[in-house]
């Protein structure tokens, strides 16, 4: 042990006598370790962001969103537009019920109607979305109540004027009072608050990318309440018939009329293996119910995110390989400098051998020097990598997560590089003939 410690002390003295060269030699390791930590931080952050998105959309879900007449396919079989195509009733509650009843792989459906309204309470006014839903909405979107209760079945059937509010609505209107049991005015309708949703912390960019609203800022009502007390776009009233709005194409405006009863329909499938097949069946069912008019869009967000995750993992591997090449170059630099150091210190080696040092002592001395330089580069590389990850997060506005295992991995690789690339110079030094070494000038 004493001989080993003595050899280590000699190695440290050898490095400290040539500080500038040691630092320059370690630069390759510094940038390599820094690159590995920064790239792993970016990759881990991207993976976590995708997982967070999956939590937002739920698992095994199929999303159906409506398309207005201007966005849907407005051509008939002969390639001519407009008034010759069949009539489509749009996305309706009957579609949701048919899908749930007729497709065995479907576990539940969650229809949504989004109604922009002015919210008034206690002299305060705020614009918000009043969203008509069923209780399935909360389960599919992993939402829990902070206080109160969910809608009762009779509330859903009869269209009671009740609501569950998001956390931001509570913070805006009910800073000093308990909102449960209070009445809040949405548009022209007074609603009694029966529950408050737990605050959902989510990235704004993730919400925008997924086309999801901020759940904290909405007011939720039974879907029949939305249709009976607010607006049912599927209803053809007398004024529409008198003005012939449904058939008159002469006064077409740039903004197409929204004739869909629902704005969105989310379907949960029992088994993820049946997602694609179920989406195909849903598409064919809706196609028949809508008279071959594609006025809806079907998406499977989980599959899209899984594909994005695979792409991200491939990108991370490429980045890791590039960072590994930097470490390899750094290791070659260490070996190069150590070989030059052996040539410079031939006489020193000869003196040590003549005074009783063994080949093992010489190997350990130069091996320790190589490892010490690698450790120095590893320490500086950790600082560079952490700083780079935080800088990237601040300026590029992307999520980076620096994990302990990435630091340990990078540090371990740096030490291994010093060990591997220090063996050849150390062995060459130990094989020098002591007598020839002492004669060297």
- In this structure, the answer to whether residues 145 and 245 fall within a common structural domain is yes
The pLDDT assigned to 180 comes to: 93
Last residue of a domain, one of 241, 274, 300: 300
- In this structure, the answer to whether residues 314 and 201 fall within a common structural domain is no
Closest CA to 143 of 226, 216, 50: 216
Distance between CA atoms of residues 66 and 11, nearest Å: 72
- In this structure, the answer to whether residues 105 and 244 fall within a common structural domain is yes
| Contact predicate 324/29, CB 8 Å | no
- In this structure, the answer to whether residues 126 and 203 fall within a common structural domain is yes
- In this structure, the answer to whether residues 248 and 110 fall within a common structural domain is yes
- In this structure, the answer to whether residues 281 and 180 fall within a common structural domain is yes
**Model-level pTM?**
0.60
- In this structure, the answer to whether residues 285 and 371 fall within a common structural domain is no
Q: What tokens does 73 get?
A: 């396919």
Number of domains in the chain: 2
What does DSSP assign to residue 211?
T
- In this structure, the answer to whether residues 83 and 171 fall within a common structural domain is yes
- Residue 13 structural domain: 2-53+307-439
E-assigned strands of 31-73? 61-66
The pLDDT assigned to 441 comes to: 56
φ, ψ for residue 410 (rounded to 5)?
-65, -40
pLDDT per residue of the chain (441 residues) written in tens, 0 to 9: 777 777 677 777 777 777 777 777 778 788 888 888 888 888 788 777 766 666 666 667 888 888 876 455 544 444 444 455 677 888 889 999 999 999 998 888 999 999 999 999 888 899 999 999 999 998 888 888 999 999 988 888 888 999 999 989 999 999 888 999 999 999 889 999 999 998 876 655 555 555 567 788 899 999 999 998 888 887 765 444 444 444 444 444 444 678 888 988 988 888 877 888 888 899 999 999 988 888 888 888 766 666 666 776 777 777 777 767 777 777 777 777 777 777 667 777 777 777 777 778 777 877 877 888 888 888 888 888 888 888 888 887 777 888 888 788 777 877 787 777 777 777 777 777 666 666 665
Q: What tokens does 389 get?
A: 């990850």
- In this structure, the answer to whether residues 7 and 36 fall within a common structural domain is yes
- In this structure, the answer to whether residues 263 and 292 fall within a common structural domain is yes
Residue 419: exposure state from Cβ atoms within 10 A (0-12, 13-18, ≥19): middle
| Contact predicate 370/421, CB 8 Å | yes
- In this structure, the answer to whether residues 291 and 413 fall within a common structural domain is no
| Contact predicate 165/220, CB 8 Å | yes
- In this structure, the answer to whether residues 192 and 232 fall within a common structural domain is yes
Last residue of a domain, one of 263, 283, 300: 300
Last residue of a domain, one of 266, 300, 334: 300
């Amino acid at each position: 042990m004493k001989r080993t410690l003595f050899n280590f002390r000699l190695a440290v003295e050898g490095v400290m006598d040539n500080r500038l060269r040691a630092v320059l030699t370690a630069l390759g390791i510094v940038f390599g370790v820094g690159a590995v930590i920064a790239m792993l931080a970016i990759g881990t952050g991207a993976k976590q962001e995708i997982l967070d998105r999956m939590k937002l959309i739920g698992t095994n879900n199929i999303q159906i969103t409506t398309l207005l007449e201007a966005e849907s396919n407005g051509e008939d079989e002969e390639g001519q537009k407009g008034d010759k195509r069949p009539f489509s009733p749009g996305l309706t509650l009957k579609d949701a019920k048919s899908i749930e009843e007729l497709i065995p792989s479907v576990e539940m459906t969650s229809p949504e109607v989004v109604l922009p309204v002015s919210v008034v309470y206690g002299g305060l006014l705020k614009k918000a979305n009043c969203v008509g839903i069923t209780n399935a909405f909360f389960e599919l979107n992993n939402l829990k109540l902070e206080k109160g209760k969910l809608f009762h079945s009779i509330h859903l059937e009869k269209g009671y004027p009740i609501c569950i509010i998001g956390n931001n609505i509570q913070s805006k209107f009910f800073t000093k009072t308990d909102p449960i049991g209070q009445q809040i005015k949405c548009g022209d309708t007074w609603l009694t608050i029966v529950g408050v949703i737990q605050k959902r912390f989510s990235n704004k960019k993730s919400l925008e990318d997924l086309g999801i609203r901020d759940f904290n800022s909405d007011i939720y009502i039974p879907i029949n309440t939305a249709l009976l007390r607010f607006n049912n776009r599927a209803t053809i009233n007398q004024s529409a018939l008198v003005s012939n709005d449904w058939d008159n194409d002469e006064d077409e405006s740039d903004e197409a009329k929204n004739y869909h009863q629902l704005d969105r329909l989310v379907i949960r499938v029992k088994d993820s293996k049946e997602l694609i097949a179920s989406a195909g069946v849903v598409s064919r069912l809706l196609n028949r119910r809508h008279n071959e008019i594609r006025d809806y869009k079907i998406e499977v967000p989980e599959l899209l995110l899984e594909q994005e995750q695979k792409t991200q993992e491939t990108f991370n591997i490429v980045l890791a390989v590039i960072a590994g090449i930097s470490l390899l170059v750094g290791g070659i630099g260490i070996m190069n400098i150590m070989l030059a150091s052996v040539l410079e210190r031939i006489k020193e080696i000869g003196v040590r051998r003549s005074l009783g040092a063994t080949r093992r002592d010489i190997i350990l001395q130069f091996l320790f020097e190589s490892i010490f330089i690698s450790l120095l580069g590893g320490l500086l590389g950790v600082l560079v990598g952490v700083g780079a990850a935080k800088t990237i997060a601040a300026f590029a506005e992307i999520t980076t997560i620096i994990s302990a295992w990435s630091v340990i991995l990078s540090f371990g690789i740096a030490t291994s590089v010093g060990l591997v690339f220090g063996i050849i110079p150390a062995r060459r030094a130990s094989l020098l003939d002591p007598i020839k070494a002492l004669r060297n000038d």
